[in-house]
Amino acid sequence: MSLATILGVLSGFGLFILSVVLATNNYATFLDLPSFIMVLGGTFAATFVSYEPRYVFSALKVIGSILFRSEISRGILTHEVGRIIRWGYVIQKNGMPGLESDAGKVRRQDSFLAFGIDLVISGYSGQEVREILANTVESNFQRQTVPVAILRNMGATAPAFGMIGTLVGLIIMLDHMGQDPSSMGPGLAVALVTTLYGVLAQRLIFLPAASKIRQREEIIRFRNYLVAEGLALLAERKSPRYIQDRMNSYLDPAIHFSIDRMRGREARNEE
């Protein structure tokens, strides 16, 4: 689970509820079912009009995924560099058949890496591997960020339906004003609740979820470009140390992979 995300959601709604509790004793003013239906119902209706249903359901599904921790961390990036370097040594010793044998398990677990290894084994040049994998990376990124556009659209739509609900409430309130002028205050409060719901849905659900999903997909894209560069260097039969320096140039110096440190640990383990 992503503790920071969960804490962010809970603190966002919690602070809002706390401010209401501290400001008034009439909590029921902030609970209005018609306003809730107007905002969420109208937002979903407009979204289904704008996008194909399968994309909308996909976007709603990934909202829940932000509560779980991202699979790619800084340590994973260092591990990817180390794995490519190890394959560089394998190719030096046993050629491409050695890579095919060594990478068997990884190819079943990671489809992108499997595709890249197949390109290397097939004999494509380093530049050809870069071009093919770059196209793969960008195509995957565009597909995976479709929910981001949908959630941002929902974030823009929710406040609009909040305003529509407010206008509906004002019309009803004014229609009854001649009969009971004292009802104007409570009626206006209920009308404004709809706008409140729309802004809350935008700022605490839709837009934050869209930003989190895009950030995670950008991290995956970066990882894939890093791996693509390493595979291209393998295709070019570059030395492991050159691969290390080239791939480390993509990373924060704090997480650079070091062949010397790796050999030092191996030597200590042998002792």
| Cα–Cα distance, 221 to 133 (Å, whole number) | 11
Give the DSSP per-residue string, 226-240: HHHHHHHHHHTT--H
pLDDT of 150 over the 80 cut: yes
CA angle 44-48-50, nearest 5°?
Answer: 115
* pLDDT confidence of residue 271: 53
| Cα–Cα distance, 128 to 177 (Å, whole number) | 74
Q: What is the pTM of this model?
A: 0.88
* pLDDT confidence of residue 104: 84
Task: Provide the pLDDT confidence category of residue 266 given band limits of 50, 70 and 90.
Answer: low
Task: Provide the pLDDT confidence category of residue 268 given band limits of 50, 70 and 90.
Answer: low
Residue 111 lies in a domain: yes
Report the SS3 class of residue 174: helix
Residue 251 structure tokens? 């990373």
Q: pLDDT tens for residues 178-237?
A: 676 666 666 677 778 999 999 999 999 999 999 999 999 999 999 999 999 999 999 999
Residue 248 lies in a domain: yes
Nearest Cα neighbor of 189 from 4, 10, 28 is 28
Residue 205 lies in a domain: yes
Residue 155 lies in a domain: yes
Q: pLDDT tens for residues 45-55?
A: 999 999 999 99
Residue 5 lies in a domain: no
pLDDT over 90, % of the chain: 70
Domain total for the chain?
1
Q: At what angle do helices 184-201 and 146-175 cross, to 10 degrees?
A: 180
Residue 92 lies in a domain: yes
Q: Tell me the residue range of the domain where 216 lies.
A: 32-271
